[in-house]
Amino acid sequence: MSDERPTHPVKRFGRKDRKKSLETRGSLFPADDTRFMPPAAQPTVPPESLPEVETRVEAEPEVIETVAEPEPLAPVKAPSKPKPQPRPRLPVWKSCLANLVTLLFTLGTIGAIAVFSLIASNPNTPLNPFPPFTPVPIFITATFLPPTNTSPPALGATATFTPFAVNTPSSADAAFVLAGDEATYAANSNTEGCNWASLAGTVTDASGAGLRSYGVQVTGEGVDQRIFSGTSATFGEGGFELFLGPAPLEQTYMVQLFTPQGEPASVLYTIVTRAVCEENVTILRFVSSR
């Protein structure tokens, strides 16, 4: 409800205002009326003969304050929403250019994801600009006597080797010996199948526990390399494996075991590989004799 007050003043009438209004009026009685004459001029009339005058007291008029009704407020109109303007259409050549750029970015993103996935799965791939560090193996060469002119063993049989005593400890002083003085043969178990030839084995102590960091020197048929035990988990904790070629061949190699300090730990053995897929992995098991 509005609190606005009327602009015109409202005057209240009381007894004083009523008295003033009565005084300004004219005489209510004619001049010849002797009832209101001064006592000296009035005729002497006995009080009993005077007429009774009725006095009337008028009630004060009730003053009613009027309050002006507030003017009704004009309705406020909500702002109208602007009408959406139609998007301008690009020319055909600009639309084709935008689609071509989007296609190029999409193909580039797919290619980058493929390259990163390949690098994550194979860090040694040529696409990796920061390949992992590969330690360079240390090769220790030695001069060995050539093998004797003995014919290789027949296929399907285990080979028995005669150790050489030159630059090697004697059989009695050797800390490690080849188990059974013979090698065993098995088929390759990785994905290469028959396209594989290797010389592998283990180095263990007398209880059969694998030993690491022992060097296995392999020489012959264009190979002069030393590999270390504990580098091939396929053959156990003290396992090792040397890749010889992509196909099984019958070839002769000289093999000797060395301690982690580089001292000879076994006699020199002559190893003959096989040329069949079922025996393309030659296995040597060096066991401590102490």
Choose among 143, 148, 142, 151: nearest CA to 163.
148
Number of domains in the chain: 1
Q: Does residue 105 lie within any of the structural domains? A: no
Q: Which domain holds residue 229?
A: 159-288
CA dist 188 and 232 (Å) reads 14
pLDDT in tens, 17-35: 666 665 555 555 555 555 5
CA dist 197 and 243 (Å) reads 6
Choose among 167, 162, 266: nearest CA to 214.
266
Place of tokens 């000289």: 254
Q: Does residue 266 lie within any of the structural domains? A: yes
Q: Does residue 147 lie within any of the structural domains? A: no
pLDDT in tens, 60-72: 666 566 666 667 7
- pTM score of the predicted model: 0.43
Asked whether residue 227 carries a pLDDT value surpassing 60, the answer given is yes
Q: Does residue 191 lie within any of the structural domains? A: yes
**Which residue would you say has higher pLDDT here, 181 or 52?**
181
Q: Does residue 15 lie within any of the structural domains? A: no
Q: Does residue 102 lie within any of the structural domains? A: no
- Identity (one letter) of the amino acid at 208? G
Domain with residue 241: its CATH number is 2.60.40.1120
Residue 121: CB atoms within 10 Å: 8
Pair 210, 202: CB distance under 8 Å = yes
- Identity (one letter) of the amino acid at 123? P
Under the banding of pLDDT at 50, 70 and 90, the label for residue 154 is very low
pLDDT in tens, 253-279: 999 999 999 999 999 999 999 999 999
Q: What is the CA radius of gyration of the chain?
A: 65
Q: Does residue 237 lie within any of the structural domains? A: yes
Q: Does residue 226 lie within any of the structural domains? A: yes
- Identity (one letter) of the amino acid at 73? L
